[in-house]
Every structure is written in structure tokens, then in C-alpha cells.
Amino acid sequence: MASEGKPLRVAAIGDLHVQEDSVAPYRELFIEVSSHADVLLLCGDLTNFGKTTEAEILAEDIKSCTIPVLGVLGNHDYECGQPEEVARILHEAGMIVLDEQAHEIDGVGFAGVKGFLGGYGRGELAPFGEPIIKAFVDEAMKEARKLENQLRQLRTERSVAVLHYSPITGTIEGEPPEIFQYLGSQRLAEPIDRFEHVKAVVHGHAHHGTYEGRTPRGIPVYNVAQFVVKPLFGRPYALIEV
């Protein structure tokens, strides 16, 4: 573990998609990560359908980690309508599920939410018209507010924002442009750019996206979906120093 003030080695991976018939799918990987990093971040879609049986399989693998594990849920983790139960199972295995409260490790803060869709720039959905459209946009704004509240809690000089959906278009380049609005929301970038202590952002979800981009203020954003990371580094997780 790094000392306070020293660089913290962060491993990050998204889109694990653990299935019911998986057998210790990440156990060896988590043991490996524990020898190379100080913290492991899991960036959503931890299960394939949000089933408790899938969460229980991942939970057993998380127990093999000897470093802190933090993360957020993804849209797949909501599929069965029991995200709270999925989060409970993972929490009991030792994972800190970020959603309402920020967390600090060795002088580095971590704030995280699933995020939501909604688009970017001129393609961003506005809260106008039918009530269902307004409710949709309100969900995106609620996720951004939760992230902002966590970032405001932190008193660290360095922090990392952990997401599932992307806050920028730069890291979803490579996906079909017509689905960009389903891959994230620029509303997530606004609270990130508001706080000087945010030094990095990690997210998943865009399996065919680009590894690195930047927010309008220049904060590095990393798409750590394992399908993006593995072709680049020969391993399904990214290593970032903060």
C-alpha cells in the first residue's frame, strides 16, 4: 500500500459480465492484480444479468483480493431488478460499492456512481415535452448530483471518479455514432470538471470505444472496459498512477 502523499497504483477493469456457469472467472486475475496495484476499481457490468447467483460467484473471487476493492454497478447489474441485493452480496465479500458516500485510501479520494445515458453536446436530451422524457433526463441529472455530492465530501488533494457510463465522447469513439447517446452523458463531466482534486476518471460500458480521452478541463478519462484494455496491454485491466 502506498503512503499518504506518494503515488497510488490503481488497477481498473470494467464489464466483467460474470455468468451463472462461470467457475472462479476472476480469482487468479485478482490475485495477480493484488501484487501489482494498491487498489482495484470495478467499473460496472459486474454480472451479466444482475442475478444473485452471478454476484455470489464474483463475490467469492473478490475475497481473493488482498488490496481494497471499490466499484460501481452497471446497467447489466440492474437487469433482474435487484441491484440492491447484488450490491449487498458484493459488499459482504469486501467490495466498497460507491453510490452515495465517497471513500478515501492513503490520501486519495474515490467517488463513484453508475451514471446514466442522455448524450453529448447538441445530441444531449433536454427535459422538454412528455413527462417520460423529463423523468429520463432527471435520472441523468440525479446521477450527476450524486457524483458531485461525493466529490464535495472529499478533502483530499487527489481523487478518482469511478463510473460505468462515459462522461465524454472521446472514450466512446469507435462505437457507432448513432448509439453515442446510449453510452453516457456529458452531465457527468460537469461535476468532475468543477473540482480541482479530480485527477482521473475511469469508466466501462463502451466495449468498442477508445482507451483514453479528456474532459473539457483536461482531466484524463480512461475507458477500462476489458474489451478495450486487453488488446492494448495484453491484460484485461488498466494500471494508473494517481
- Residue 42 counted as domain residue: yes
All 3 cell numbers of residue 131?
413527462
164 and 114 Cβ atoms separated by less than 8 Å: yes
pLDDT per residue as tens digits for the range 184-234:
999 999 999 999 999 999 999 999 999 999 999 999 999 999 999 999 999
Q: Is 81 in contact with 114 (CB distance < 8 Å)?
A: no
Assigned domain for 2 exists: no
Name the residue type at position 8: L
pLDDT of residue 57: 98
Task: Say if 1 falls within a structural domain.
Answer: no
The one-letter amino acid code at 24 reads A
**Domain for residue 3, yes or no?**
no
pLDDT of 1 higher than 90: no
Give all strands of the β-sheet with 103-105 in edge-to-edge order. 103-105, 108-112, 158-162, 198-203, 220-223, 212-214
For residue 209, tell me if it sits in a domain. Answer: yes
pLDDT in tens, 119-161: 999 999 999 999 999 999 999 999 999 999 999 999 999 999 9
Domain with 197, as residue range(s), is 9-241
Tell me the per-residue pLDDT of 79-98, one tens digit each, with 9 for 90 and over: 999 999 999 999 999 999 99
CB-neighbour burial class of residue 230 (10 A; exposed 0-12, middle 13-18, buried 19+): middle
Q: Residue 17 has what pLDDT? A: 98
Give a yes or no: residue 207 inside a domain. yes
- Strand 238-241's sheet: what is its strand order? 95-97, 69-72, 39-43, 9-13, 238-241
Give the pLDDT band of residue 5 (cuts 50, 70, 90).
low
For the chain, what is the domain count?
1
Tell me whether residue 77 is in a domain. Answer: yes
The tens digit of pLDDT for each residue in 54-80 reads: 999 999 999 999 999 999 999 999 999
| Residue 4: band (very low, low, confident or very high) from pLDDT cuts 50, 70, 90 | low
Distance from chain centroid for Cα 75:
11
Whether 4 is in a domain gets the answer no
Q: How confident is the model at residue 47 (pLDDT cuts 50, 70, 90)?
A: very high
Local confidence band at 6 (pLDDT 50, 70, 90 cut-offs): confident
* CATH code of the domain containing 113: 3.60.21.10
